[in-house]
Structure 1
Amino acid sequence: MYINKDTIITGKNVVLIPYKKDHVLKYHEWMKSEELQKLTASEPLSLEEEYDMQKSWLMDENKCTFIILDRGKYEETKNEIDAMIGDTNLFFANPDDRICAEAEIMIAEPWARGRKCGWEAMLLMFLYGIKYLGVKEFIVKISYINDISIRMFQNMGFSEVSRSDVFQEITMSKIVDKLWIEWIDSSTAGFEIIQKEANILLM
């Protein structure tokens, strides 16, 4: 999505940055993992296809994506590639009416799991979607075998709405309301959203 091409979101333990061409090679290596393919219901792509996908994410108004960096590692090394740990995405069925968004989160680096990085990154993405894209409802589709993600979204207030034995997925939903926004705000206290090129602090 072009709107977030220069946006940086800084949380306590993670930093969300736009998905750029420089990130594709490491992302491609991640997605060779059969475990990640199963957990994310993804098909392996060629490196050329991954580069094409990155371009699509940048220009497609139906999609919003951020690469997740480990903040501590990034501040230590100043190297985005070394600090990459995953990604988070929003999909819109209708770009002209962004009421409902399908959300995704992936922590690809094993060393970054179990540290609440996915939790924080997802909450930051929710806030961005609510405050800057106008999202009123989030849905998630999670593999039956992904117990960790199922529990995480349940703890975030999501409720199961359907199951698909064909796709082996659970669909869960959360309607945005004032109390939920206040809870996310309190859970991500001190986060910042910055437009990189203009160096404008938005929040």
Structure 2
Amino acid sequence: MKVNENTLLEGHAAVLVPYKAEHVPRYHEWMKSAELQQLTASEPLTLDQEYDMQKSWREDNDKCTFIILDKQRWADPGVEEEQCMVGDVNIFLTDPTDASLAELEIMIAEPSYRGRGIGKEVMRMMMCYAVTKLGVKKFQAKIGLDNEVSIGMFKKLHFQEASVCKVFKEVTLKMMVDESVRTRLQSDAAFMKELDYAQTCSGRQELVSH
């Protein structure tokens, strides 16, 4: 999505950056995993197809994608950004007749980062961004029935179970954003800083050169 192509969101443990071409090789390696393919309901792609997908996600108006970085590693200017990658998070505007409805999806691809609260922090950041910057008023998440960790995380974020599809073996969770929810989301993500991605990257590079 063009709106976030130069946006960096900084949290306590995670930094969210726009999905760039330089992230694709690492992302492509992740998606060779049968486990991640199952969790994300994805088919394996060639590297060229992955580059095409990245370009589509950057330019399409119905997709907003960030790469999740380990903030501690990212804070070291000597570490390449691609080496800080731990996953990705997406907003999909799935209904062309209702731009206020967004589907959320998160993937913590690096196993060592799971169960550390990063997913919950990232979702709070992403939901606040969606509400304040994209005008989202309704969230939904479709999760495999066997992915109990993700289901539990979304329920802790006040999502409610809306339906279960036994054919596709997934549950749909939803949240409506009224004024009280909007206030809570902004309060929960008050720690988040929104920065200029290009300027921030330039600052990291200057630290390395000095």
**Equivalent-residue separation in structure 2 for 1:149 and 1:137 (angstroms):** 19
SS in 2 for 1:122: helix
Residue matched to 2:125:
124
Deviations along 1:45-90, one digit per CA (max 9) or x if unpaired, are 1111100000000100010000000101111244211110000001
Query: What residue is the counterpart of 1:188 in the other structure?
Result: 189
1:28 aligns with 2:31: no
| Mapping of residues 6-25 of structure 1, within 5 Å | 6-25=6-25
Relative to the length of structure 2, the TM-score reads: 0.90
Corresponding residue for 1:57? 57
Tell me the amino acid that sits aligned with residue 150 of structure 2.
S
TM-aligned CA deviation for residue 98 of structure 1: 1.9
1:96: how far off?
7.4
Distance, in Å, in 1 between the alignment partners of 2:68 and 2:199 is 21
1:102 aligned residue: 103
Kindly provide the amino acid, as one letter, of the partner of residue 54 in structure 1: Q
Contact 1:73–1:83 (Cα < 8 Å) also in 2:
yes
- 2-side partners of 1:11 and 1:145: how far apart? 29
TM-score (norm 1): 0.93
Could you list the structure 1 runs, at least 4 aligned residues long, displaced by more than 6 angstroms after superposition: none
Give distance in 1, aligned partners of 2:57 and 2:71: 23
Establish whether residue 166 from structure 1 lines up as the match of residue 167 from structure 2.
yes
Indicate if the aligned counterparts of 2:161 and 2:173 stay in contact, CA closer than 8 A.
yes
Gaps in structure 1 of 5+ consecutive residues: none
Greater C-alpha Rg: 2
In 1, the alpha carbon distance for the partners of 2:198 and 2:14 equals 20
- Between stretches 128-137 and 183-192, larger displacement belongs to 183-192
Separation in 1, partners of 2:50, 2:130: 25
Secondary structure of the corresponding residue to residue 35 of structure 2: helix
Distance in 2, matches of 1:48 and 1:168, equals 31
- Alpha-carbon separation, structure 1, partners of 2:110 and 2:79: 18
The residue matched to 2:105 in structure 1 has which SS?
Answer: strand
Query: What's the offset of the Cα at 1:188?
Result: 2.5
Q: Which moved more, 1:121-130 or 1:188-197?
A: 188-197
Q: Per the alignment, in what secondary structure is the counterpart of residue 139 of structure 1? A: strand
Whole-angstrom CA distance in 2 between matches of 1:182 and 1:85 = 29
Letter in 2 for 1:191: M
Label 1:131 to 1:160 Cα distance change in 2 as closer, same or farther (>3 A). Answer: same
In structure 1, the partner of 2:156 is 155
Measured in 2, the distance between the counterparts of 1:142 and 1:97 equals 22
| Shift of residue 41, structure 1, vs aligned partner | 1.2
Alpha-carbon distance change, 166 to 174 in structure 1, aligned in 2, over 3 angstroms: same
Within 2, Cα distance between the matches of 1:83 and 1:91? 24
For residue 67 of structure 2, what is the aligned residue in structure 1? 67
Q: Sequence identity of aligned pairs in percent?
A: 47
CA distance in structure 2 between the partners assigned to 1:19 and 1:96 by the alignment: 26
SS at match of 2:64: strand
Instruction: Give the CA RMSD over aligned residues.
Output: 1.5
**Cα distance in 1 for residues equivalent to 2:96 and 2:198:** 25
Distance, in Å, in 1 between the alignment partners of 2:139 and 2:196 is 24
Q: Supply the AA of the counterpart residue of 1:13.
A: A
Q: How many equivalent pairs are there?
A: 199
